[in-house]
Amino acid sequence: MRRVLLSASAIAIVMSISCSVRAQTEVTLVAPGGIRSAVEQMAPGFEQKTGYKIKGTFLSGGGTKQEVVRGGAYDVAIVQPPYPDVVASGNVVEASATPLASVAVGVAVKKGAPKPDISTPEAFKKTLLAAKSISSPDASTGAAAGVSINDMLKKLGIDEQIEPKLKRVKGKGPGGAGGGDVAMAMVADGEVEIGMTFLSEMNDPGIDRVGSLPREISPRTTLVGFVSTHAKIPEAAKALLEYLSSPAAGAVYKAMGMEPGR
């Protein structure tokens, strides 16, 4: 009986050590969904280079800021400007601010469908007015792409005209994250004629990217990384930010329709 008890105790100790080691080799990250695909693509390279695994939590743009301000215990936080509330919260190291990438809102159509003209603000305005149905992420969930699209429609002066045919969709992830993916799925399935979201979220094989919106009406959204003041392994957090802002990362961002921050 004594031997059995000793064996059970030994197993418990080994499991405890194993969990501790695993936790120490894991870098936690909170970020908007717009950078999720890029991070997931780079994760194996980071792991191979450093030995640390990335455990990512992806929310909407607004949801990410709220999570950081609340003091969520992550090693790295990626947020979108403006972020005075994030810095004022004391939950990130202000001096660690690292520009990672910027991303434009774009337009997509069902694969093989004719691509509309979005080359100028006036051409894009005509495209939207002629479209029978449109999908986009829901800004009410904090989706940054949705907020940008709402602002763009107001700039064009057609927000009221577009409203009846605009389907704003919520994501299936935490806080509505993933609205861009859902908007693209609607395009791929033929539920809507065109869809709008960040180019980095246009990964559905059933769609074709038309391109990004003109800068005059739709400024790019920037993503900035910080080391958290709650980081369990500050060195690993710094290593992750360096990796996500490296030339190799820049190539990944470009492939996804993003612009490297450096």
Half-sphere exposure of 53 (CA within 13 A, CB side): 7
CATH number at residue 62: 3.40.190.10
Same-domain pairing of 134 and 168: yes
Give the pairing type, strands 194-198 and 105-110: antiparallel
Signed CA dihedral, 110, 112, 116, 117: sign only: positive
| pLDDT at site 12 | 40
Which residue range is the domain that position 25 belongs to? 2-101+222-260
Signed CA dihedral, 193, 199, 204, 206: sign only: positive
Same-domain pairing of 50 and 115: no
Number of domains in the chain: 2
What does the pLDDT profile of the chain (262 residues) look like in tens digits?
444 444 444 444 333 333 433 345 899 999 999 999 999 999 999 999 999 999 999 999 999 999 999 999 999 999 999 999 999 999 999 999 999 999 999 999 999 999 999 999 999 999 999 999 999 999 998 889 999 999 999 999 999 999 999 999 998 766 656 789 999 999 999 999 999 999 999 999 999 999 999 999 999 999 999 999 999 999 999 999 999 999 999 999 999 999 998 6
**Hey, which bits of the chain come out as E strands?**
26-32, 53-59, 76-79, 98-103, 105-110, 134-137, 166-169, 194-198, 207-212, 221-227, 258-260
Same-domain pairing of 168 and 229: no
Amino acid at 62: G
